[in-house]
Structure 1
Amino acid sequence: MSMINYKYSFTILLAGFFLISCNGKKTENTRENNAENQITISEGQFKENGMELGKPVVKPFTEEVSCKGYITAPVNARAKVTSLISGKITSLQIRPGQFVSKGNVICAITSTEFIDIQKDYAENSAKFVKIKADYDRLKSLREENIGAEKDFISIKSDYNAASASLNAARAKLNSIGLNPANIENGKIYNVYTVTAPISGYVTSISAVLGQYADMTTEIAEIVNVNQTQLTLSVFENDVYRLKPGQIVRFNVAGSTENLLAKLISIGKSINTESKTIDCIANMETSLNKPLINEGYVQANIITAQTELQALPNSAFVKSEGAFFVYILKEKKSGNYIFEKKEVHITKSNDEYSAVSESLPEQETLIKGGSTL
């Protein structure tokens, strides 16, 4: 064999040896990787660690706008208590937080104005009775062409004036809640009672005993907290994702209970300081107890919803910044053989998470994976 052929053959042998060596290492590494991704546990370990198996399920996931706000009462569920009569407050029969029904007494007021209104009605009533009698008498005579026409015209004018004065005096009595029939019978009330204009809870009391009150004096505030709504402050960039009818999930301060409301209106002006827009939502959840007016809430407005395959959050194990699930490959000889698979969570809620990878149909470890 020549020297050239010898060198050529030796080169081929070296190359072949190198390829065999590389293939051997690759096979060995593959076995090691497969071994690292597979975990075998006994049935005793499975039960002892409280492990559970489950399959992927389809669950709804939402896109939401997070915001803050507070509980408010609509205009027809909130009332400022004032007095229609000017006078001195002699008693207050309410306390903060007390529930009052419409018509319940709030306070009592003594007033000469109150007495004068009753006196005015009594005098107008008596005057009208006398003038009406004269009017009826002259009217009857005129129908028989007896008496001067100018006398009838004069009494008719007096009658109309007396009737108008009586009606005005009666309207005053009705406006302050007095029965005109009682005044006509000679009954005069010394104390005027201010009553609740709506049913609700007393949220504030602004008056004190002995204070002079008139129509501009706020005595108390009443709010019907059973008709409360939400005022939500939404950032300008998020408002364009909103529309009436969207569901709002919220909770109040000091509670983790999720309550529901429905968006009914979206504000058209921006608060220049907070850069937010006020949006209003009506309560949807039936409450066992009333909410606190002006109470703080944390809310999420649901703007979209999709259904995805998901696993319980307990199925995901975090390790070195990545998430993994354990998929059951087989069960034999009383042992469970799992494959450890890295996944990337795309959607998540309080109970379930969805991933970008396709989830296999076989059972997955949904509880106890953190012990592996």
Structure 2
Amino acid sequence: MSKLPFVPTVCLASRNAAPLKNVQRVQTELATLRATRNALQKQLGAMGISVARVNKGSIVTTLTITAPISGTVSSVTSQIGSNVDASTPIAEIVNNSQLHLDLFVYEKDLPSLRPNQTIHFTLTNNPGKEYDAQIYSIGTAFANESKTIPIHAIVKGDKTGLIEGMNITALISIGTAVLPAVPNDAIVTYQGQDYIFIVKDAEGEKGDSTKTESGFRFQRVKVVKGVTDVGYTEITLLENLPQNTKIISKGAFFAMAKMTNIGEEE
């Protein structure tokens, strides 16, 4: 890294003490060495080695490798003592802070999609926990021969439990509407008809009702199911109900079983 004693040679050449061609040769060699030195300094800097310390004679025997991203090491592909170069991967790092979804939609659904739409999704093996994402890119060509268009969405909010490559079930919000809805567990199907159960007073009429040990009487009401989303299902009532009617949110199946077992049905 030190400089060559070139200045005295130039002085002697000016007094015809050395052939001019020798000076030109030395000038060329010096320029080449300077270029090599600069390249080596940049290489050392890229490896995290202090050039100033090397110039002082400090020899580095170990290198600290800085990862290009933060995250978790998912696999190590190199071994202690093996030779590696700049093109050899030594480990794989996963950063789940920038997870995104790759979804595929059919051509008929494409007009309903646009950037910034919200996606609600659940893991196939854990449908009880819901996550949110937002569309940021919509494909402009079909994916292979599947006749589906890829869309990409960035995951928002909580990412706990998400790992690259997981299968998901996604629902894309294409609009908003205020509709009567009940929890999915509040609806039970019996003989092809959907029902919900409402709470009646203990002295209510029988017919389509059943009485519990606690004294409450539950009455079943016919409904028509609509769209299901995030654990709730839209319903259309086939008869009017008073305001503030209490609906059984869980256990409708057991209420129906009790009713049919004791013969209290239509």
TM-score (norm 2): 0.69
Matches within 5 A, 1:137-216: 163-216=34-87
AA aligned to 1:196 is: A
Q: Counterpart in 2 of 1:43? A: none
1:335 pairs with 2:200: no
* Segment drifting more, 293-302 vs 163-172: 163-172
Alpha-carbon offset, residue 130 of structure 1: 3.4
Q: CA offsets per residue over residues 41-74 of structure 1, 9 Å max, x none?
A: xxxxxxxxxxxxxxxxxxxxxxxxxxxxxxxxxx
Secondary structure at the residue paired with 2:45? helix
C-alpha distance in 2 between matches for 1:169 and 1:247 = 51
User: Higher Cα Rg: structure 1 or 2?
Assistant: 1
1:130 pairs with 2:1: no
1:275 pairs with 2:150: no
Q: CA offsets per residue over residues 345-367 of structure 1, 9 Å max, x none?
A: 33344234321657444454512
Contact 1:345 1:356 in 2 (8 A): no
Secondary structure at the residue paired with 1:265? strand
AA aligned to 2:150 is: D
Q: Counterpart in 1 of 2:263? A: none
Q: CA offsets per residue over residues 145-191 of structure 1, 9 Å max, x none?
A: x979x89x969877766544432332222122211111111122344
Alpha-carbon offset, residue 229 of structure 1: 1.3
Contact 2:133 2:153 in 1 (8 A): yes
Q: Counterpart in 1 of 2:176? A: 305
Work out which of the residue numbers 192, 217, 234 in structure 2 matches 1:321.
192
Contact 1:326 1:364 in 2 (8 A): no
Q: Counterpart in 1 of 2:116? A: 245
C-alpha distance in 2 between matches for 1:198 and 1:313 = 43
AA aligned to 2:227 is: K
C-alpha distance in 2 between matches for 1:182 and 1:326 = 81
Higher helix share: 1
Q: Which stretches in structure 2 are left out of the alignment for 5+ residues?
A: 209-219, 260-266
Contact 2:118 2:172 in 1 (8 A): yes
Matches within 5 A, 1:74-93: none
Contact 1:344 1:355 in 2 (8 A): yes
Contact 1:325 1:364 in 2 (8 A): no
Label 1:309 to 1:361 Cα distance change in 2 as closer, same or farther (>3 A): farther
1:346 pairs with 2:226: yes
**Aligned residue pairs: how many?**
232
- RCO higher in structure (CA 8 A, sep ≥6): 1
TM-score (norm 1): 0.51
Work out which of the residue numbers 111, 129, 134 in structure 2 matches 1:262.
134
Q: Which stretches in structure 1 are left out of the alignment for 5+ residues?
A: 1-124, 139-145
Label 1:164 to 1:341 Cα distance change in 2 as closer, same or farther (>3 A): closer
Label 1:171 to 1:301 Cα distance change in 2 as closer, same or farther (>3 A): same
Contact 1:346 1:353 in 2 (8 A): yes
Q: CA offsets per residue over residues 176-211 of structure 1, 9 Å max, x none?
A: 221111111112234455442221112222223443
* Segment drifting more, 352-361 vs 157-166: 157-166
Label 1:313 to 1:184 Cα distance change in 2 as closer, same or farther (>3 A): closer
C-alpha distance in 2 between matches for 1:318 and 1:296 = 30
C-alpha distance in 2 between matches for 1:315 and 1:161 = 83
Secondary structure at the residue paired with 2:121? strand
Higher strand share: 1
1:366 pairs with 2:247: yes
Give RMSD over aligned pairs. 3.7
Secondary structure at the residue paired with 1:344? strand
Secondary structure at the residue paired with 1:281? strand
Secondary structure at the residue paired with 1:257? strand
C-alpha distance in 2 between matches for 1:275 and 1:219 = 39
Secondary structure at the residue paired with 1:215? coil
